[in-house]
Structure 1
Amino acid sequence: MVSIRKILQASFILVFLFALIFNLGAIFQEGNPLPVLWAIIKLEFTDSNIVAFTENKLIQKDGPEAPLTNYLAEHGWTFKDRLGSLIVYTRGTDELYVKSRRLTTFYNVYELEYPLIDIKAN
């Protein structure tokens, strides 16, 4: 006879697999989900307001882009304008375009036009 414990285990596994299958698009929307997961862990368990998870992508908790503006100000960029989901920063005559999008209900992802490490100061 099959025990109730085995039935519960099988039910849990089936629910987990269905949830995984139906959410694959959301899980893999940024490619490899592990760097995003580590960035979210850093956001939740440290004092960081914004975390880079690739050389040109940053993640922050949902809210205004003040942490992004402060992060870029540390690299010499100043806020110029926001056009929908595009945020424009300037440094001298250079412009940096940042695309903003919501990853989940709780997190926003910012994609820089190019990595900050490749940018030379004027």
Structure 2
Amino acid sequence: MKKILRWFLVPLLSFLIVIGAVAFKFSDTLFQEGNPIPILKGIVQLQIGEDLYVPIDQKQNRYIASNNPKEKQPYNEVKRYMGDKGWTFEKKLGNNLIFTKDQSKTVVKTVMYTSDYYIFDVTA
């Protein structure tokens, strides 16, 4: 019985130590936007699916999208999302994208999560 318990506990503890070390090393990146679980879930959905962007928080209108630095026009996913809602891209101010619709304006804030993904917040 002790031998079976040892064969179970040693790999389990080793696995937990490795996970803890990775989480500690990358904690600044993982926790920069609060709870990383919805963001990591969104990244997995982007990797396995065909979606251009994935919602990570429905209440706050937060989405995650892939970043392709080779694109000549960055933030195409945001522009497409807002275009589907009837908004027209006007200009970019820093990390903010300004959109217009009729006489109103709205700002979409973008944040680089990693070099491969960015988060955008829609305040419409």
TM-score (norm 1): 0.76
What's 1:40 paired with?
A: 43
Where structure 2 has 5 or more consecutive residues not aligned to the other structure, the ranges are 1-6, 69-73
Structure 1 residue 99 corresponds to structure 2 residue 109: yes
Post-superposition shift, 1:58? 1.2
Output the CA distance in 2 between the equivalents of 1:13 and 1:34.
Answer: 18
Aligned equivalent of 2:21: 18
Distance 1:70 1:82 in 2: 15
In the alignment, residue 94 of structure 1 is paired with which amino acid? S
1:44 alignment partner AA: Q
Q: What is the identity, as a one-letter code, of the residue corresponding to 1:110?
A: F
What is the distance in 1 between the residues matched to 2:26 and 2:82? 33
* Identity fraction in percent: 27
Aligned pairs for 1:1-122 (under 5 A) are 9=11, 13-55=16-58, 56-63=61-68, 64-112=74-122, 114=123, 116=124
Q: Provide the C-alpha distance between the structure 2 equivalents of 1:44 and 1:26, rounded to a whole number of angstroms.
A: 19
Change (3 A) 1:74 1:85: same
Count of residue pairs brought into register by the alignment = 109
1:37-89 deviations in whole A, cap 9, x for unaligned?
Answer: 22112211111111121132111101321111111111111100001211101
